[in-house]
Chain A
Amino acid sequence: MKYKSLIINNPEELMFGIAPKPVKTRRGLEIGGGQVYAELNFTLPVMSINDNTLNQVYAHYREIAEGALERALHLNSKGVVLEFETLLEMTKTPSIGVEIVKIMNGICEDYYQKFGLKSEIRLTPNDLREFERPAKQRSSQFLEPLFELFEQGMIAGGDLLSIESTGGKEVSDEALMMCDVKGMVFALAVLGVRDMQFLWEKIVSVANKHGKIAAGDSACGFANTAMVLAEKKYIPKVFATIVRVISVVRSIVAMEQGAVGPDKDCGYEGPFLKAITGIPISMEGKTAACAHLSPLGNIASACADLWSNESVQNIKLLSGMAPTAYLEQLEYDARLMNEALRAGKMHCQVLQQLLVASDVYTDPQALILSPENVIRISKELVKGDSYVANARNGALAALDIIEEALRSGRMKLPELETGYLPILRDDLNTIPDNESEFIAMMLPLIDQSKFIPAEYGL
């Protein structure tokens, strides 16, 4: 792993709105430069996407962007990011995705020219490679439309580039269900890392070619899946917590390849990335309850630079269209954080402490996101010589933190949960430092009909 030390060593410096390496955008947002901005994410209501409905599809995105920016203007917003997460048809036929970016970018530009409202589009194509099973991560026919959308979408006005890439998911889906921590390390720290290297080298190079911003990835398909499963009580929360920590060594590869942030909203591994690399991050919490439930509503914003809602359908609520309503919620949260930032360090710390204290001991997944714990775990995540060793070390540190919180009586977990702690520790302790040794240990244990080793350079 390229990173050997942290950019932020002091928990007090891991603060919302401030990143050591802020990102400046075309229309003047300074993400991580002393402000928190809303990042609105949205999706279509129940409908098909086909030739007959395309005009309706475009009308939805026009309505979403106009509604959100009009509301932002009304609320004196300092700036907004609109995240366009494409749906299958928009990536498979890139011209559809590009047209939507064009429509929304036109609206952003209009509000900028007329009213000085700064906004930017994050373009997040969905990872089409998954449609082939086992996925052909490197030789897939789907890479072509995916990169065409990246490139043409950038030209059309998508300034921040992201993806929720899925390399390693073939192995992680089963490992998650079996609470197989070694399987998760293999999926994320071996397969995930290799795929991220492959993908992000390409994304960074197209972004640089067009002067755009390679922002970052998200371990959504791994760690958020774990979180959602834990919320449904399908797998233990302590396991989901460990998966989150392991996912850091995978998501950080985007930065190693040259991505500069803001990291993507649904990557709750963002705080670790911020501490290690200094990039700004997007986060989501209570405001994402429209898309999925979580145990991290407040603490997730403790060091956010963009504050997001994950995704909301364009449907009518009593107040107005749902994306407009969510923009308002995000904006008020951002306003509060910005007021603290304006008032100075002490105010920021008080607000952050409240955000942290209100969640931290209610769930182990929240526990590891307190700034102290993020720094403590991050130190372990960069200490080893391989991604595998770092994943293991980080996970063990998280286990220590959970056990300390239990011993002190500040956190309580049922026996069904605590019973997993020694099992996870024992399993983690069998993971060697050396990646090749680990691969040799794991390959015979993994169903190789589910993934193609050569597609990961193995």
Chain B
Amino acid sequence: MEELLEKLLEAVEFGKVDKKSPYPPQLRDMDGAHELTIRAIETGIKPQKILEEALIPAMERVGKKFAECKIFVPQMLMSARAMGSSMFQLKPYFASGAIKTKGTFIIGTVKGDLHDIGKNLVSMMVEGGGWSIVDLGVDVGADKFVEALKNNPGAVIGLSALLTTTMVNMGEIVANIREQAPETKILIGGAPVNDDFCQKIGADFYAPDPQKAVEYLNRIAS
């Protein structure tokens, strides 16, 4: 049982999606996250245990290696894909409530802004940290955030902006969200924003990078 979880952890850590995937070379022809998750479920391992003892620790290792510049984004993405294939198998258990993520994170690049590379990285790393993600994409106005929040009560909101002329739209979005659900936690990020700006618009936290975003979310989840 433990050995199976250990193997799944390794598959996700090194980005082995499924058996036929050629990546990574050292795990060629071996079972990937897809097969190992199926086996784990069949063996009777609780889905929550699969999530907490294999998938999340694997992505934590990946996040640490990335933060220490020991791997690049493609390796991290392969791990995210491996985790995704495992999560696909676990989907019914999320739906039935048999497993719970740490929470839901609604993220989007604000109105008028199309820069999304940074936002996508944040979203991927937060998902790897055990959160459900609702990615609203780019050019997202207050109404869409509010609507997504209605559909996901209690979710944390993440706003990204890269332009000096769109970061101001964050203020309007924060105000709208506060009106609808004042207790909502709001995290902001992007090249032109900073801590002062975060405080000025009444958001809760400014994360300069994805790692800090994950740390913050984990703090408020615990």
Chain A interface residues (CB < 8 Å from chain B): 43-49, 87-89, 130-131, 133, 173, 176-179, 225, 229, 233-236, 313, 416
Min CB distance A365 to B, Å, is 15
Docked-complex contact B114 and A131, CB < 8 angstroms: yes
A-B residue pairs in contact (CB < 8 Å), sample of 17:
A43-B164, A44-B164, A44-B165, A45-B164, A46-B168, A46-B192, A48-B165, A48-B168, A87-B163, A130-B114, A133-B137, A133-B138, A176-B117, A178-B74, A234-B72, A313-B164, A416-B70
Chain B interface residues (CB < 8 Å from chain A): 69-74, 77, 112, 114, 116-117, 120-121, 137-139, 163-169, 192, 197
Chain B CB count within 10 A is highest, among A47, A179, A234, for: A234
Docked-complex contact A177 and B164, CB < 8 angstroms: no
Docked-complex contact A49 and B165, CB < 8 angstroms: yes
Q: For residue A178, which residues in chain B have a CB less than 8 angstroms away from its CB?
A: 74, 77
Instruction: Look across to chain A and name the residue whose beta carbon is closest to the beta carbon of B191.
Output: A292
Q: For residue A48, which residues in chain B have a CB less than 8 angstroms away from its CB?
A: 165, 168-169
Docked-complex contact B165 and A177, CB < 8 angstroms: no
CB-CB nearest 8 A-B residue pairs: A234-B73, A179-B74, A48-B168, A46-B164, A233-B69, A178-B74, A88-B112, A130-B114
Q: For residue A45, which residues in chain B have a CB less than 8 angstroms away from its CB?
A: 164
Partner of B73, one of A88, A89, A229, A416: A229
What CA separation (Å) do A11 and B46 show in the bound complex?
A: 67
Instruction: Look across to chain A and name the residue whose beta carbon is closest to the beta carbon of B193.
Output: A46
Known: A46-B164, A49-B165, A87-B165. A177 touches B192 (CB 8 A): no
What CA separation (Å) do A245 and B90 show in the bound complex?
A: 43
Docked-complex contact A177 and B114, CB < 8 angstroms: no
Partner of A131, one of B69, B117, B139, B168: B139
Q: For residue B197, which residues in chain A have a CB less than 8 angstroms away from its CB?
A: 46
Given contacts A177-B74, A234-B73, 11 further A-B contacts (CB under 8 A): A44-B164, A46-B164, A46-B167, A46-B168, A87-B165, A89-B165, A173-B117, A176-B117, A177-B77, A233-B69, A235-B74
Chain B CB count within 10 A is highest, among A88, A313, A416, for: A88
Known: A48-B169, A49-B165. A235 touches B114 (CB 8 A): no
Docked-complex contact B164 and A179, CB < 8 angstroms: no
Partner of A47, one of B72, B121, B164: B164
Q: For residue A313, which residues in chain B have a CB less than 8 angstroms away from its CB?
A: 164
Docked-complex contact A47 and B74, CB < 8 angstroms: no
Q: For residue B192, which residues in chain A have a CB less than 8 angstroms away from its CB?
A: 46
Known: A87-B163, A234-B121. A179 touches B114 (CB 8 A): no
Min CB distance A415 to B, Å, is 11
Q: For residue B139, which residues in chain A have a CB less than 8 angstroms away from its CB?
A: 131
Q: For residue B74, which residues in chain A have a CB less than 8 angstroms away from its CB?
A: 177-179, 235
What CA separation (Å) do A416 and B71 show in the bound complex?
A: 7
Min CB distance A97 to B, Å, is 13
Partner of B72, one of A46, A133, A233: A233
Chain A CB count within 10 A is highest, among B74, B116, B167, B169, for: B74
Known: A130-B114, A131-B139. A47 touches B73 (CB 8 A): no
Min CB distance B64 to A, Å, is 14
What CA separation (Å) do A235 and B164 show in the bound complex?
A: 26
Instruction: Look across to chain A and name the residue whose beta carbon is closest to the beta carbon of B70.
Output: A416
Partner of B168, one of A43, A47, A88: A47
Q: For residue A88, which residues in chain B have a CB less than 8 angstroms away from its CB?
A: 112, 165-166
What CA separation (Å) do A131 and B7 show in the bound complex?
A: 43
Min CB distance B119 to A, Å, is 11
What CA separation (Å) do A89 and B166 show in the bound complex?
A: 11
What CA separation (Å) do A234 and B76 show in the bound complex?
A: 10
What CA separation (Å) do A131 and B114 show in the bound complex?
A: 7
Min CB distance B23 to A, Å, is 10
What CA separation (Å) do A416 and B70 show in the bound complex?
A: 7
Q: For residue A176, which residues in chain B have a CB less than 8 angstroms away from its CB?
A: 117
Instruction: Look across to chain B and name the residue whose beta carbon is closest to the beta carbon of A311.
Output: B164
Min CB distance A34 to B, Å, is 37
Docked-complex contact B117 and A225, CB < 8 angstroms: yes
Q: For residue B168, which residues in chain A have a CB less than 8 angstroms away from its CB?
A: 46-48
Chain A CB count within 10 A is highest, among B70, B116, B167, B168, for: B168
What CA separation (Å) do A428 and B213 show in the bound complex?
A: 37
Min CB distance B39 to A, Å, is 28
Q: For residue B120, which residues in chain A have a CB less than 8 angstroms away from its CB?
A: 177
What CA separation (Å) do A179 and B23 show in the bound complex?
A: 14
Min CB distance B73 to A, Å, is 5
Min CB distance A409 to B, Å, is 23
Q: For residue B71, which residues in chain A have a CB less than 8 angstroms away from its CB?
A: 416
What CA separation (Å) do A235 and B197 show in the bound complex?
A: 29
Min CB distance B31 to A, Å, is 23
What CA separation (Å) do A89 and B112 show in the bound complex?
A: 8
What CA separation (Å) do A131 and B197 show in the bound complex?
A: 26
Docked-complex contact B73 and A177, CB < 8 angstroms: yes
Instruction: Look across to chain A and name the residue whose beta carbon is closest to the beta carbon of B139.
Output: A131
What CA separation (Å) do A334 and B139 show in the bound complex?
A: 39
Chain B CB count within 10 A is highest, among A47, A130, A173, A177, for: A177
Q: For residue B69, which residues in chain A have a CB less than 8 angstroms away from its CB?
A: 233, 416
